[in-house]
Structure 1
């Protein structure tokens, strides 16, 4: 295990929390102004990049950037910017996502109240929890060991599934002949949610990089929380609820295709 200044990690967490609060507050103000909750989709990955950059300034004493710090900054930035660009392109010029529209209509309160209590506050809390390995890991000193490089491999597998899965789905939707059909090709043949599986791997990999110190090990809440969010809360569960309503034959796709971890499809 490499060294980590525990007291400095607490300072980084405190400043990281303030960063999340300010960032999500600004994004909520934009959301209320344009009357679209979908703003939070693009804000989500950009928030992690901002936390990583702020954490670098907090932890860097001007004596050069330690290897673990540089590695975490690169991993988070590559993941965050790619996902933000994808989500912005997907949502740009379109109406409110049906899931958010249904949420706003069913709640019965003002748009601003729904934005705060149902979207930006819970996602801000989730962002802080998931980003803990980034903030704590920025205080790791020394070289990147075998555990850190294992984390890079897991991160790379995750980025592959997430990026390729998103690209394959976008190409599928471009074909007008596929309207109303179920995407069950490419990576989507082996898991119903390659992008969510990839996201979980990305954050498991980032945690492994931070786990080179005991303080980093304690941030295991990050990959656990992310996986729960993706499978049980805002990710797969919410997505499949809408898919069952809009896609005939989706139940058959569910029966033959793994819900999360990529596996060979079952015979019909």
Structure 2
């Protein structure tokens, strides 16, 4: 469990406590994943640590308030769903293709470079907890329209990500689809619908944080979540690494998917035949 955040602690004190907790957790994740075949545990551990720290920060406010309960519940559902899904996939023998790509790129330097990467992830986790804090501590009267709208967006993101994962699992389970690239369901309108839905989760929390009129300066800290998630998934550790792996493993078949289907934002497929290879 993350260190308790006392209501008497200053904001700087709890920020240091959460940063230290995230650094410790990701150090343990690094030690676990040094062996090939275990890198899938990184995201499971990361999402769990963000969930635990976020719930602790949301609820530790000298008393339980409705909005704090709402935010803690939403983040708790997100962490359990995402972390559980990744853990089940990893336990069944799955490796994370992004770390496979990095292991091949970095070679003998993988150990120390992956440690630095996970420390960056710890810093990002801390920043996300700040955005949750901003949402949970919004003092405006409940229930504002922003609470309802933000909660709906978060739940759509969680549900959409679960649906995308299930569609991909079923596609891969079909013997007729061996070696093919999934372009069914949500995967027909985005090459990474799970990433888009992850962004929706943090965007919904930002709506709750900003509030009904945007008049609370601290509420805009909620934008840290969707901005950071977008940059990480679209430009840093998500799409670039995963697509490099897919191009190497699927070749021209994935190239055709790239030519037809939007990378992140859902959109109608560009003209072309449905992929069959």
Indicate conservation of the 8 Å contact 1:148/1:211, yes or no.
no
Flag structure 1 segments of 5+ consecutive residues without an equivalent: none
Query: How do 1:2-151 residues align onto structure 2 when only pairs under 5 Å count?
Result: 9-32=11-34, 36-56=38-58, 59-61=60-62, 63=63, 65-94=64-93, 96-109=95-108, 112-118=111-117, 120-141=118-139, 142-151=141-150
Q: Is the 8 A contact 1:16 1:135 kept in 2?
A: no
Q: Which has the higher contact order (CA 8 A, sep 6+)?
A: 1
Distance between the aligned counterparts of 1:55 and 1:167, measured in 2?
A: 31
Give the conservation status (yes or no) of the 8 Å contact 2:98–2:238: no
Q: Does residue 228 of structure 2 align to residue 225 of structure 1?
A: yes
Q: After TM superposition, give the deviation of residue 217 of structure 1 in Å.
A: 1.0
CA contact (8 A) 1:152 1:209 kept: yes
Instruction: State the alpha-carbon separation in 1 of the partners of residues 94 and 263 from structure 2.
Output: 28
CA distance in 1, matches of 2:66, 2:11: 17
**Distance across 1 between alignment mates of 2:10 and 2:31:** 32
How far 1:110 moved relative to its partner? 6.0
What number of residue pairs does the alignment pair up? 259
Q: TM-score, normalised by structure 1?
A: 0.86
Match of 1:260 in 2: 264
Deviations 1:162-210 (A, max 9, x none): 1100110011111122111010111111111110000001011112112
Q: Aligned partners of 1:263 and 1:245: how far apart in 2?
A: 25
Shift in Å, 1:46: 0.4
Task: Indicate the residue corresponding to 1:235 in structure 2.
Answer: 238
Which residue of 248, 251, 258 corresponds with 2:255? 251
| Residue 162 to residue 16, structure 1, CA distance change in 2 (3 Å) | same
> 8 Å contact 2:151–2:208 — kept in the other structure?
yes
Report the RMSD for the aligned CA atoms in angstroms: 2.4
Q: TM-score, with normalisation over the residues of structure 2?
A: 0.84
Contact 1:104 1:114 in 2 (8 A): no
Q: Secondary structure at the match of 2:190?
A: coil
In 2, distance between residues paired with 1:8 and 1:215?
15
Task: From the superposition, tell whether residues 256 and 111 of structure 1 become closer, same or farther in structure 2 (CA, over 3 Å).
Answer: closer
Q: Which secondary structure state, in structure 1, belongs to the residue aligned with residue 33 of structure 2? A: helix
Q: Cα deviation per residue 1:4-24 (whole Å; 9 max; x = unaligned)? A: x9x954444333223212322
Q: In the aligned structure 1, how far is the partner of 2:94 from the partner of 2:152?
A: 38
Tell me the secondary structure at the aligned position of residue 17 of structure 2. helix
**Could you tell me whether the CA contact under 8 Å between 1:158 and 1:200 is conserved in 2?**
yes
